[in-house]
């Protein structure tokens, strides 16, 4: 693996097979097998904050570096993924939706037979940091941000940060773009709000060549057994698609 494999999960549990939105589901037994595989290969599972420090050159970049990310903040993360992460002593980050905590993920309700998953309450979210899990923002209402009017964009990135910080009593330096939707204006708004990282749905390994507010990830899908998981870890490093990057600041001559 070159750089850092930032792995993207959503739900973890027991699900009937589905034909669409497969990246929104991970079988809990396969999740445990995936964590066991990381242990077997000696992967360095980093928090997002430590990954940023490594990409910035503030700490050595370990071999086989991995970050585990979970979008949306579903209850089944708390019930199924969290105990397994604790068994392996692995850190992770959950991106929660500030204005929807304790509600339901309505946008996931169109897969027949799978219902609409509940989202963690702030009472559960507040437990996470003490259990090794960072909490990031996934916006205020889980809307597509590219092309969004400035006032709405400000609310989504700034008010979500403030709300989560107020609820948890902790800084929130990490952002995840809902649906992966972002453009230069979105990235600049996230920077202005004070975030240090932002993750997208662009595929590839994260390296220092990426803007830290537009980092790529590798999506883990329902059908990924350990072989498929290993292939994504070791082979899917080449970026797919053009990455958004802010202009480098001018330097004095």
* Neighbouring residues of 16: CB distance < 8 A, sequence distance ≥ 6: 113, 114
Which CATH homologous superfamily contains domain 4-235? Glycoside hydrolase/deacetylase (3.20.20.370)
Task: Write out pLDDT tens, residues 213-247.
Answer: 999 999 999 989 999 999 999 988 888 878 899 98
Residues of the chain where predicted confidence (pLDDT) is lower than 50: 250-253
Q: How far apart are CA 136 and CA 188, in angstroms?
A: 17
The single residue listed with the structure tokens 């999740």 is: 31
With both helix axes pointing from N to C terminus, report the angle between 226-235 and 28-40 in degrees, rounded to the nearest 10. Answer: 50
DSSP state of 110: T
What is the pLDDT, as a whole number, of residue 157?
98
For 199, counting Cβ atoms within 10 Å of its Cβ (0-12 exposed, 13-18 middle, 19+ buried), the class is buried
Q: How far apart are CA 222 and CA 17, in angstroms?
A: 8
What is the pLDDT, as a whole number, of residue 250?
40
Residue 115 gets the label, from left (phi > 0), alpha (psi -120 to 50) or beta, of left
Nearest to 45 by CA among 109, 123, 168, 134: 134
Q: How far is CA 135 from the centre of its chain?
A: 10
What is the pLDDT, as a whole number, of residue 100?
98
Q: How far apart are CA 240 and CA 253, in angstroms?
A: 36
> Token pair of 167, please?
């609820």
Query: What is the pTM (predicted TM-score) of this model?
Result: 0.95
* Neighbouring residues of 181: CB distance < 8 A, sequence distance ≥ 6: 144, 145, 146
Q: How far apart are CA 138 and CA 177, in angstroms?
A: 6
């Amino acid at each position: 693996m070159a750089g850092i494999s930032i792995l993207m999960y959503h739900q973890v549990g027991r699900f009937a097979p589905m034909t669409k939105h497969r990246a929104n589901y991970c079988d809990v037994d396969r999740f445990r097998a995936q964590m066991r595989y990381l242990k077997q290969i000696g992967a360095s599972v980093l928090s997002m904050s430590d990954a940023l420090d490594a990409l910035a050159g503030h700490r050595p970049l370990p071999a086989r570096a991995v970050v585990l990310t979970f979008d949306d903040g579903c209850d089944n993360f708390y019930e199924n993924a969290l105990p397994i992460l604790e068994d392996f002593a692995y850190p992770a980050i959950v991106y929660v939706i500030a204005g929807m905590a304790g509600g339901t993920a309505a946008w996931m309700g169109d897969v027949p037979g799978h219902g609409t998953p509940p989202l963690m309450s702030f009472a559960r979210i507040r437990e996470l940091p003490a259990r090794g899990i960072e909490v990031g923002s996934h916006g205020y209402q889980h809307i597509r941000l590219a092309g969004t009017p400035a006032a709405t964009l400000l609310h989504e990135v700034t008010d979500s940060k403030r709300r989560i910080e107020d609820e948890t009593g902790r800084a929130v330096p990490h952002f995840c773009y809902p649906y992966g939707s972002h453009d230069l204006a979105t990235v600049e708004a996230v920077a202005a709000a004070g975030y240090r990282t932002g993750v997208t749905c662009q595929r590839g390994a994260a390296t220092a060549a990426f803007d830290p507010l537009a980092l790529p990830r590798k999506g883990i899908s329902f059908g990924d057994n350990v072989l498929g998981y290993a292939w994504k870890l070791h082979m899917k490093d080449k970026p797919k698609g053009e990455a958004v990057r802010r202009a480098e600041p001018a330097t004095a001559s």
